[in-house]
Amino acid sequence: MSKLVAGREKDHAFAGALLRAGLVDPAVIAERIEMVDVHPLVRKRLRDWIGLCLPAT
């Protein structure tokens, strides 16, 4: 979460690589986004980013 909150390009690349390798579950990340104490705009950015990684329903 700290990498995603930082929001740097390299951090998103790292988190994306973890997701692609199956080392983290995007649904778990989505749940944890709601637990992080951050500004609402940061939370929106995180939701938007993980939304791209979640399977379509």
Q: pLDDT tens across 16-55, in order? A: 999 999 999 999 999 999 999 999 999 999 999 998 887 6
50 to each of 7, 8, 17, 28, how far by Cα in Å?
12, 15, 13, 10
Instruction: Report whether pLDDT(57) > 70.
Output: no
- Its pTM stands at 0.81
Residue 20's domain spans which residues? Answer: 2-53
Q: How far apart are the first and last CA of the chain?
A: 24
> How many domains, in total, are found in the chain?
1
